[in-house]
Amino acid sequence: MTHDTSRFYQLWGEVSDLLVAEEVLRWDQETLMPQPGHVRRAHVLATVAGLRHRLLTAPELADQVAAGLDRCDPESVDREQLVAARREIERATRVPERLVQAIAAATSEGLVTWQRARREKSFAAFAPALERIVALRREEASIRAVGDHPYDGLLDEYEPGLGTARIGPLFDRLSDELAALVAAVADSGVDVDESAARGAFPHDAQLAFCTWAATQIGFDFDRGRLDVSTHPFCTGLDAADVRLTWRWDTGDFRRGLFGVLHEAGHGLYEQGLPTHWRRQPLGIARSMSLHESQSRLWENQVGRHRDFWTFAAPRFREHFPAAPRGDAESLWRAANRIEPGMIRVDADEVTYIPHIVVRFRLETALIAGELDVADLPAAWNQGYLRLLGLEPRDDAEGVLQDIHWASGLFGYFPTYALGSLASAQLFAAAERDLGGLGPRFAAGEMSELLDWLRDRVHRHGSRYTADQLLERATGAPLDPEPFLAYARGKVDALYGVAP
């Protein structure tokens, strides 16, 4: 007899609904909420998150999962759903409520302190709060006890299946190769002209142009929105309700456009998730690196593609008649200039990964207890000097630039770099399967690529790990070679050097 799983799905549906409620509350907070509303909102968010934890760790749910796993067809999707649920439940159960609350309190204070410290450009003001956060997350990692390295327990939250032992050497290799590329760019004597990106780009015209671009790559505004926030993000409440945010710079169109293409890439993933698994464990995106592979693919492999600009340049000229240049070649060049800088979020495709490698090395050392918080700024500055050849003028553009550590996010940064690798790997496989993507982009045809991603990535929800999914989609697990080949090709095309 097959076990009846309806009660399991009912209980899981409630857990899943509470996550959506939490995401609506957060989205609203970041986009529309009157600022003084934050006092009450903090209570509401804590209550909803706490209830979700309570439901996820309730004995009845665990019993339903255990009974289901005992009796279900071992080849069934039900079984995969139950396994995914068990994983989530075990993760949630392992960390005691006390620690969850302590982390919530420490990061709530951490964010406020970080904002002040950043304004004052003083790491010292942030250090005590960060020490508490690091100590708590270290405790959490030791409780989770996943993998060989203490850091693996945190990494596992965002990227199941990838460990420090694999990422460390991978990042060493990448930083060496990319350092050589950056040196080649510097030695080329070529200065890629970015004047086409500078000028006066009024808000309304940017909004229209960005909306057009997001629509062209396939984002469905009937099942989504675009709003304003300080830091762009994407929230998928459901495949039929996906929300992007953006910000813009009226003196440089790139911040707005590439931000929207990036978030719309995340949004396409969310809009392509399987609705027949709505409210079920497999119905959501599982890995942050896969999510980031989708955003980077549409932002970079497509949005910074030469042929994309053949298609987009006439529309660009319509929206920005006063722009200094509107020819495809100049726009493509401006969109692809390579130059090491201090700020991660402003980095180009080639120098982006070194920013991540610096952070990865520092946070693994912090969590392993090999680096003290007090020594972090010096270690940060050394890392930048070594990998990017630059030193920050102050802590604000150095160790205080990111919100992540203040929010308690340790183990998240690597997924950005892994996403870049996966985006190049997927794009190369799509080109192999479909052929002639460039000419299609030039004609404004993006749908074959989207269909391919829908089929190979989106429709599987969280059924597979990143490695499994990449293996099915491209024939190999996560592999840095396609990204390195892509980066070399771009450097060659722009700077005429092929290292």
When computed from its CA atoms, the radius of gyration of the chain, rounded to whole angstroms, is 23
Nearer to its own copies by Cβ, of 17 and 176: the residue is 17
| Exposed e or buried b per residue across 371-410, where buried means at least 16 C-beta atoms within 10 angstroms of its C-beta | bebeebbebbbebbeebbeeebeebbbbbbbbeebbebbb
Give me the least distance between CB of 36 and its own copies, in Å please: 4
Q: How far is CA 39 from CA 26, 34, 46, 182, 379, in A?
A: 13, 11, 11, 47, 36
Is position 36 an interface residue for its own copies (rule: CB under 8 A)? yes
- Contact between 223 and its own copies by CB under 8 A: the answer reads yes
Choose between 267 and 419: whose C-beta lies nearer to its own copies: 267
Q: Which of 3, 7, 24, 365 binds its own copies (CB under 8 A)?
A: 24
28 touches its own copies by CB under 8 A:
yes
Q: Give the number of other Cβ atoms within 10 Å of residue 54's Cβ.
A: 13
Q: Using CB under 8 A, which of the segments 27-35, 131-139, 342-350, 473-481 binds its own copies?
A: 27-35
- Residue 91 as a binder of its own copies (CB under 8 A): the answer is no
Does 214 sit near its own copies (CB under 8 A)? no
Return d(Cα 169, Cα 13) in angstroms, integer: 40
Catalytic residue among 159, 177, 263, 292: 263
For 9, the 3-state DSSP assignment is helix
Q: Measured from the CB of residue 212, what is the shortest distance to its own copies in angstroms?
A: 18
Shorter beta-carbon distance to its own copies: residue 285 or 429: 285
Q: Which residue has the tokens 């995106």?
A: 285
What are the CA-CA distances from residue 16 to residues 7, 21, 47, 297, 339 (Å)?
14, 9, 15, 28, 43
Nearer to its own copies, 16 or 107 (CB): 16
- Confirm whether 263 is a catalytic residue: yes
Which of 97, 108, 156, 157 has its CA nearest to residue 132? Answer: 108
Residue 20 interacts with its own copies (CB under 8 A): yes or no:
yes
Q: Does 30 bind its own copies (CB under 8 A)?
A: no
For residue 134, the SS3 value is: helix
Instruction: In angstroms, give the least distance from the CB of 157 to its own copies.
Output: 24
**Cα dist from 328 to 209, 335, 373, whole Å:** 15, 10, 47
Q: Which amino acid is at 227?
A: D
In the region spanning residues 229 to 258, those forming contacts with its own copies, defined by CB under 8 A, are 237-238, 240-241
Nearer to its own copies, 40 or 71 (CB): 40
Minimum distance, C-beta of residue 242 to its own copies, in the bound complex (Å)? 8
Look up residue 321 and give its two tokens: 């008649």
Q: Pick from 6, 34, 70, 321: which binds its own copies (CB under 8 A)? A: 34
Beta bridge partners of 198: 252
| Shortest Å, Cβ 51 to its own copies | 6
User: Of 3, 25, 94, 274, which lies in the binding site for its own copies, with binding defined by CB under 8 A?
Assistant: 25
Q: Does 35 bind its own copies (CB under 8 A)?
A: yes
Q: Which is nearer to its own copies, 212 or 221 (CB)?
A: 221
Crossing angle of helices 447-456 and 466-474, rounded to 10°: 130
**173 contributes a contact to its own copies by CB under 8 A:** no
Residues belonging to the chain: 499
CA distances 240 to 26, 79, 213, 272, 496, Å, are: 18, 27, 20, 9, 45
Q: Which stretch binds its own copies (CB under 8 A): 120-128, 184-192, 219-227, 332-340?
A: 219-227
Judged by CB under 8 A, the residue of 3, 7, 30, 51 near its own copies is 51
Q: Which of 413, 357, 408, 394 is nearest to 125 (CA)?
A: 394
Interface with its own copies (CB under 8 A), residue from 87, 91, 132, 278: 278
> In sequence order, what are the residues at sequence separation of 6 or more whose Cβ sits closer than 8 angstroms to the Cβ of residue 156?
91, 144, 146, 147, 411
Min CB(252)–its own copies separation in Å: 29
Q: Let me know: does 320 contact 201? Beta carbons within 8 Å.
A: yes
Q: Do residues 209 and 254 touch, judged by C-beta distance below 8 A?
A: no
Q: How far is CA 53 from the centre of its chain?
A: 24
Contact region with its own copies (CB under 8 A), list: 48-56, 331-339, 370-378, 476-484:
48-56
Q: x/- binding map, residues 93-132, to its own copies, per CB under 8 A?
A: ----------------------------------------
Q: Which stretch binds its own copies (CB under 8 A): 22-30, 145-153, 188-196, 318-326?
A: 22-30
Task: Work out which of 3, 30, 33, 249 binds its own copies, going by CB under 8 A.
Answer: 33
Going by C-alpha positions, the residue among 248, 162, 260 that lies closest to residue 197 is: 248
Q: Does 58 bind its own copies (CB under 8 A)?
A: no
Catalytic residues: 263
Summarize as ranges the residues that interact with its own copies (CB under 8 A).
13-14, 17-18, 20-21, 24-25, 28, 32-37, 39-41, 43-44, 46-48, 50-51, 221-225, 237-238, 240-241, 278-279
